[in-house]
Amino acid sequence: MAGIRRPMSGPPGTLNTITPCAACKLLRRRCAQECPFSPYFSPHEPHKFASVHKVFGASNVSKMLMEVPESQRADAANSLVYEANVRLRDPVYGCMGAISALQQQVQALQSELTAVRSAILKYKQREAVATLILPSNSQVAGFHNSSGVSVIAPPPQTPSTPPQPTVAPPPPSSCVFSQPTTRALEYSDIENENNSYFG
């Protein structure tokens, strides 16, 4: 199969592969075996390197990738692609605009979460107060029988005092006439009365 280059196994430092990478295609140069762009910019996604090259420049991208450890170069390349795309969409703020928008969303969600937690706390406090008031009301007003009907408890009765006997007031001392005292007539009285006649 002519025209297709197959991957070649080489030492770990070998970065070149088969077909030219997206950077070499865009720059119209031969993709060398030690090309710094080849592992990170696939020829099937040329738009990624096009954005990076338009914003940063090929030489700056190459320098930044070489300054990063090899284990982190893939993440650095993805970060450069993201930042370049955002900068093309928002030339003024770039990534800072996206970061600011995300921070505002986080603050809005935090305030909403705080409001929800406050509402939950108020509801729990009301429920606790209701559970404390309910037993005292049931003791005063009544209780629920087994059928679920509320029976009103009678009010406590106070002990009634017995009626005091009424005593008639004594007659006034200024009364002229007094009631005669009557007593039974005895035999000694009759005898004394006859002695006055026959004595």
113 and 60, same domain (yes or no): no
65 and 100, same domain (yes or no): no
45 and 73, same domain (yes or no): yes
35 and 81, same domain (yes or no): yes
The DSSP bridge partners found for residue 144 are: 150
Question: What range does the domain containing 83 cover?
Answer: 22-89
**With a threshold of 0.75, does the pTM exceed it?**
no
Residue ranges of the alpha helices (H) in the chain? 22-27, 46-55, 58-67, 73-89, 95-141, 187-198
| Domain contains 195 | no
What is the per-residue pLDDT for 184?
Answer: 52
What is the per-residue pLDDT for 128?
Answer: 87
82 and 103, same domain (yes or no): no
| Domain contains 163 | no
What is the per-residue pLDDT for 5?
Answer: 40
79 and 108, same domain (yes or no): no
d(CA 99, CA 107): 12
| Domain contains 140 | no
The token duo for 100 is: 């600011």
Decide: helix, strand or coil at residue 33.
coil
| Domain contains 67 | yes
- 């979460």: which residue's tokens? 113
73 and 126, same domain (yes or no): no
| Domain contains 30 | yes
User: Could you read off the pLDDT of 125-154 as tens digits, one per residue?
Assistant: 988 888 888 766 655 555 444 445 554 555
d(CA 23, CA 43): 8
Task: Point out the residues of the chain with pLDDT beneath 70.
Answer: 1-18, 135-199
d(CA 36, CA 191): 169
| Domain contains 181 | no
| Domain contains 50 | yes
108 and 63, same domain (yes or no): no
30 and 77, same domain (yes or no): yes
76 and 111, same domain (yes or no): no
At position 134, the amino acid (one-letter code) is L
56 and 85, same domain (yes or no): yes
- How many separate domains does the chain show? 2
What is the per-residue pLDDT for 85?
Answer: 92
| Domain contains 149 | no
74 and 113, same domain (yes or no): no
